[in-house]
Chains A and B, each alone.
Chain A
Amino acid sequence: MKQRPFALKRPFLVICAPAIAVVAILISVTSLHVHPDFTSQAAISAAPVDQGAYRRIRWSELIPAQWDPKDLFKGEDISSWGDADPRALTLQRRMQAAWSKAPVNRALDQRAIRTAGYVVPIEESGDGMSEFLLVPYFGSCIHIPPPPANQIIDVSSPKPVKGVHSMDAVWVSGILSVAQIHHDIGDSAYALRADAVDLYTGPAQ
């Protein structure tokens, strides 16, 4: 008598294997990411924000018109110097001293702005990042020279921002202000109270 019990047959195994693979992939793909917050939320706005209310500014607008960071190099034929030239080292020291006192553009005080830059974390707790520096180029915390004082924005976010990592590119919208600081180290710096911080996805929207 021909048996046809509920027994495993070869074709069944063939179908069974991909099914198990699907289960495996399902579990691993959905749970394997180093920064879980990252993939789950691309937009991390502190609050829904009307983009039109913020004027998109470029980093060059933060520099007052009369201040030229290249003033220092005038009359020096830098291209003829070698890397270890003592003149280069003194010039760099002078440049850093001048750049750390770089003046700010007071016309931007109390303006609602929107700009993109890289994140250098300052204050972080379990809830997320509540304060960071926004800088115009990647690697500012390790490369020399550091950006001039007027190319650094001290961003504080009333609602901690999750999913932002050191040196991520972000869009920041908020009120820019010129903070008065100790006169020895230049008189002012930019601070920004962020209404929204979003991971950078592309050029101006």
Chain B
Amino acid sequence: MADITVEELSKNFRMRRPAANGRVKAGALARLLTPRPVVELPAVSSISFAVAAGERVAFIGPNGAGKSTTLKMLTGILRPSAGRAEVAGYVPWQQRRQLARRIGIVFGQRSQLWYTLPVRSSFELLRRIYDVDRARHRERLERLARTFEIGGLLDRPVSELSLGQRIRCEIAASLLHGPGLLLLDEPTIGLDVTAKAALRDHLGEMSRAEGTTVLLTSHDTGDIETICDRVIVIDHGRLLLDQPLERLRREFLQHRAMTLVTAEEHPRLDIPGVAVAAAEPYRLSLNVDTARMPVEKVVAAALAQLSLRDIVIENPPLEEVIKAIYRDGIGRKEMPHATG
């Protein structure tokens, strides 16, 4: 059974253009009274997809692609301009409150915890908001505290937590009422590498253990690989790609960008499956096709052939993935700069 069904969903925002600035025209009062033209901006344009129960789906796209707008329509926060959607059997914007009991929502950039109070106080309030009985709340809290390793944080004020700790508490807060579907909007935004990795592990573990359906938006390809098994790519409000992670990984995520900082002024490295993206004095930027040559072998070869001062390995940025989807079409296996 599908947890989420979306058909031809669209959202346009109406706004007034800012007034032309910089020139004094007909006097302050006259300008105050001049109306500005209204324009309509499409944020999401006719997208369709379905998510089955228990699936873990990443909804990805660059900033302004329309992913948060879609997520907000699916939670009933925004009304669509056109199209249909059903989430956990409800039409979100018509049955928002009934739906809210069945889902958990996390906004990476907004907090639902009281800043000056201990985490536990906010959890207790959420228990009231979601009408969860005491015994069940205690049992859920214990389990979530174990999964997200927040047992030691519960009695500390939110103001004293690091961002990573706070986000873990935010996610636990949204799971306290035991929702079958978890929607996360940019949960890893602003986190450092270690906190991101910890959060991804916790989320993955929780979803596998409880069979929770997960829909997560992100512009970080790292989130997708660790947590999800299916990817929907959206750009400029349009659905660009919808396929299993395995396929996306094979086609677009098998490359890693590697930068070597060397003692040699003109470093050279010759390994099959590794393309040199840029060579500068004391620096070599590589594109590694991990299907042909695993990262650890490249590192070993680099250590053997060069004297390294630093090494940086990065996932392909989302912009590159999207560029590749646009340029090469779905199914082509090479990243655009892998041949360069």
Q: Do A and B come from one complex?
A: no
Q: Which residues of B contact A (CB under 8 A)?
A: none
